[in-house]
Amino acid sequence: MPTILALDQGTTSSRALLIGADGRVLDSAQEEFPQRYPRDGWVEHDPEAIWDSQVRTARAVLERAEETPAALGITNQRETVVVWDRKTGAPIAPAIVWQDRRTALECRRLREAGHDALIAERTGLLIDPYFSATKLAWLLDHTEGARARAEAGELAAGTIDSFLLWRLTGGAVHATDATNACRTSLFGLDAQDWDDELLDLFRVPRALLPDVRDCASDFGTTTREALGVGLPVGGIAGDQQAALIGQACLAPGMIKSTYGTGCFVVLNTGGSPVRSGHRLLTTVAYRLGGKPTFAVEGSIFVAGAAVQWLRDGLGVLDHAAETEALAAQAKADSRVVMVPAFTGLGAPHWDAEARGAIFGLTRDTGPAELARAALDAVAHQTDDLVAAMRADGGVIESLRIDGGMVANDWFCQDLSDVTGLPTERPVMTETTAMGAAMLAGVQAGLFASLDEAASLWRAEKRFEPKIAAHARKARRARWQDAVRRTLVS
């Protein structure tokens, strides 16, 4: 059976998965890599650590594989930017991660100068440090000589997919796909290309940027130096769009919600961009044969990251999975509410300056109540997004869920209770990798179309809401009050 190698470069780990043409995961490898928090609100990655972990996982899977995969697909944490030297391939600075807030003041300046409308109209995005453009400008302004070198064409930049692709092809291909490009604030949704006016506004030289291609395209071939084998790279998509594809949400109205470091709820809206009146983003879901399909997205910066903070920051857990038993043990009358605004709040609040808070602490609050509050916060934030989508006219009847957190049954049930929606967990929870594999498989001719590949999707478990309407209302009110008390701007 033909196979596809999918590289899933996430915020906390790099993964490589060998996926069969029947949609099954045949093998996988995963490596976590260090997160750096050098200052309040800053989040950085070492691009070499990303590269090394990604290559090691890919090579591990390839060495165990019986046959050479037919194609390779890449999916990645989005918005995070790397700038590197075109001659040596060496990064000139650490990668600035999507969660990083260092450009909050610059974003405020752009908002005060009245650029919101132009940016929203062209890109479907708001002005926020989340997106790549201000991060790129920051790197050029704060790295000695970088701006002049960028203008002279000596440097290349891109999101993580671009950086990996460059390295995988030995510097032969500097490209990205439309789903990653549309998260930079530099890409016109209508034109489906970099926008000169936005490049001027954000002061990013065009010479720095990759070529933008369809999600299923010829992205070149890996070198033997990189992976020990020449594989055609046929698919690229940002991880949330890849998860939408991997969850088989290919028809307008279908919706998925992914719980990794952050949480991203994405609603397929079909062939024309739909603008939100409630501060959700308009984004490219995928682009095939030059034709974009669009989505509306709600982005939450902290989901599994709150669990990670309990583990690594507070040290009250050894493993993320312990939150499941802990949450179940929490005292039923606990009113602890955690607003995990560690790096500001994303949709629908977009408050870059808010910081986290915990309300309702009592002398008997312990790790169990904190664990429950952390999981609960993710469910409430999801419901905030569902409410915004409904206010925009969206009809939402259930959620297809995935990501690291959905291994936690307590969380899945809580999500269903808090949102009042049935939630469906698929058999194949590696939906992000699956999306990348589907795209690469279409390009390699293993699937006649994305729809054919999507027919492989199966539900593993469905969680139904179990709490009474009045209990849900009371919990929602407590959450909304806590958020109000956390907002800064």
Ligand X SMILES: O=P(O)(O)OC[C@H](O)CO
Ligand Y SMILES: Nc1ncnc2c1ncn2[C@@H]1O[C@H](COP(=O)(O)OP(=O)(O)O)[C@@H](O)[C@H]1O
Nearest of 233, 212, 101, 223 to residue 158 by alpha carbon: 212
Q: Tell me: does residue 10 bind ligand X (CB under 6 A).
A: yes
Q: Tell me: does residue 433 bind ligand Y (CB under 6 A).
A: no
Interface with ligand Y (CB under 6 A), residue from 3, 5, 6, 11: 11
Q: Tell me: does residue 261 bind ligand X (CB under 6 A).
A: yes
Would you call 254 helix, strand, or coil by DSSP? coil
Interface with ligand X (CB under 6 A), residue from 69, 210, 238, 246: 238
Interface with ligand X (CB under 6 A), residue from 3, 75, 77, 222: 77
Part of the chain binding ligand Y (CB under 6 A), chosen from 151-159, 214-222, 317-325, 474-482: 317-325
Interface with ligand Y (CB under 6 A), residue from 124, 304, 346, 394: 304
Q: Tell me: does residue 403 bind ligand Y (CB under 6 A).
A: yes
H or E element, residue 62:
helix 47-64
> Among residues 12 and 223, whose Cβ is nearest to ligand Y?
12
What order do you get walking across the sheet with 95-96 strand by strand?
A: 44-45, 95-96, 81-85, 155-159
Backbone phi, psi, residue 9, to 5°:
-95, 95
Backbone phi, psi, residue 82, to 5°:
-130, 140
Q: Tell me: does residue 134 bind ligand Y (CB under 6 A).
A: no
Part of the chain binding ligand Y (CB under 6 A), chosen from 301-309, 437-445, 449-457, 469-477: 301-309
Per-residue interface string for the shown chain with ligand Y, residues 251-290, x marking contact by CB under 6 A: ---------xx-----------------------------
Q: Is the distance from CB of 18 to CB of 7 less than 8 angstroms? A: no
Part of the chain binding ligand X (CB under 6 A), chosen from 74-82, 194-202, 352-360, 461-469: 74-82
Number of H helices and E strands in the chain, helices first, is 17, 22
Locate the DSSP E strands across 336-488. 337-339, 357-359, 399-402, 423-426, 459-463
> Among residues 10 and 129, whose Cβ is nearest to ligand X?
10
Q: Is the distance from CB of 301 to CB of 99 less than 8 angstroms? A: yes
> Among residues 263 and 327, whose Cβ is nearest to ligand X?
263
Preceding peptide of 91 cis, ω within 30°:
no
Per-residue interface string for the shown chain with ligand X, residues 390-419, x marking contact by CB under 6 A: ------------------------------
Please name the residues in contact with 88: beta carbons below 8 A apart, sequence gap of 6 or more. none
Nearest of 464, 473, 306 to residue 376 by alpha carbon: 306
Distance of CA 19 to the CA centre of its chain: 21
> Among residues 125 and 406, whose Cβ is nearest to ligand Y?
406
What CA–CA distance (Å, rounded) separates 349 from 363?
32
Which DSSP state fits 208? G
Q: Tell me: does residue 147 bind ligand X (CB under 6 A).
A: no
> Among residues 10 and 205, whose Cβ is nearest to ligand Y?
10
Q: Tell me: does residue 25 bind ligand Y (CB under 6 A).
A: no
What CA–CA distance (Å, rounded) separates 250 from 270?
8
Distance of CA 212 to the CA centre of its chain: 19
Q: Tell me: does residue 426 bind ligand Y (CB under 6 A).
A: no
Q: Tell me: does residue 424 bind ligand X (CB under 6 A).
A: no
Q: Which does 166 bind (CB under 5 to 8 A by kind): ligand Y, ligand X, none?
A: none
Residues that bind ligand X (CB under 6 A): 10-11, 77-79, 98, 238-240, 260-262
Residues that bind ligand Y (CB under 6 A): 10-13, 260-261, 304-305, 307-308, 320-321, 323-324, 403-405, 407-408, 411
